[in-house]
Chains A and B, each alone.
Chain A
Amino acid sequence: MSDKLVAAQVRHYPPGDLAVWILIMAELLVFALFFAAYGFTRMGHVALFNQYQATLDRTAAVANTLALITASYFVVRAVAAIREGNSRHSARWLWAGVGMGVLFLFIKGGEYAEHLSHGINLSTNTFYMFYLSLTFFHFMHVIVGVIVLVILAVKVGQGRYSAAEHADVESGASYWHMVDLVWLILFPLVYVMH
């Protein structure tokens, strides 16, 4: 590959709007604090955390992980399509991503319904306080991400973006990948590591 081509491919800023990346950084820092708080609080309650972690549905959690990483891959395909000016394909990939996001919400919602039916809430114990707070905070981000993807899918389908002008699509995609990234840490930390 020639030096000129390499130079042309190296950018100084990430894809999408810089403001969205500043928001992503802020969100990631908040989640980092949550993860650290979980880890350091667990130090004083190892037996309790291990006991109640075993009550969680790991199969639902792995299904949700697969749903989110697949949604992220679909969003990557949507960005690739719009970069080539193919709005129809891009919209189709975005709707597929929305489908995976809704699947996540459906599975996670089922888990919450199960917990509620057993009388489990934030004050049940320290483990559940962290588990419910962390996962629900992330759940809210998935809802926002799905709404963003729906808006983008509609606008892309209407032909409002092109190969030259699609920063909104890249910004929305970056936000969605952040939601995926956070879950990739949350899943092993809360459901598996003991």
Chain B
Amino acid sequence: MDSQTRAWLRPCTWTWLVMVCLTLVTWLLGVSGAQGLWVALLVLGFALLKGQLVGDWFMGLHGVSGFWRWVVSLWLLLVGSLVSIAFVISSGVLN
């Protein structure tokens, strides 16, 4: 295996491990009955972080310049913002 491939695979392996851990924490929060706006936003934050890792390392966008570098980040920002707004409003904290 050449050094360039190894340099790409190592963060990908870490990405997979981090995603497994975050997924298990999310599941534990779900089955533990933890609830409330901050738990929901924390879980959403984990999901957005996992999405960014997939975009950067699995999709290989960390090594791309220009618009395509940010396409997944922008999508995550859009989805994260819309879902957060909906959950914040429905929680009633703004009332």
Taking Cβ atoms with an 8 Å cutoff, the residues of A that contact B are: 9-15, 21, 25, 28-29, 31-32, 35-36, 39-40, 42-43, 46, 58-59, 61-62, 65-66, 69-70, 72-73, 75-77, 80, 83-84, 174, 177-178, 180-181, 184-185, 187-189, 191-194
Contacts and interface: CB of A to CB of B under 8 A. Distances in A.
B64 A73 contact: no
A92 to B, nearest CB: 15
Q: Which residue among A42, A59, A77, A188 has the maximum number of chain B CB atoms within 10 Å of its CB?
A: A188
Given A39-B83, A177-B58, A185 B47 contact: yes
Contacts of B82: 32, 35-36, 39-40
B60 A14 contact: yes
Interface of B: 1-2, 4-5, 8-9, 12-13, 15-16, 19-20, 23-24, 26-27, 29-31, 35, 40, 43-44, 46-48, 50-51, 54-55, 57-61, 63-66, 68, 71-72, 75, 78-79, 82-83, 85-87, 89-90
Nearest 3 pairs between A and B by C-beta? A39-B86, A62-B27, A192-B30
Q: Could you tell me the dominant secondary structure of chain A's interface residues?
A: helix
Contacts of A61: 27
A26 B4 CA distance: 31
25 contacts: A9-B63, A12-B66, A14-B64, A21-B71, A28-B72, A32-B82, A35-B79, A36-B86, A39-B82, A39-B87, A40-B86, A42-B90, A43-B86, A43-B89, A62-B23, A73-B13, A76-B9, A76-B58, A77-B9, A83-B5, A84-B1, A84-B5, A177-B54, A184-B50, A185-B47
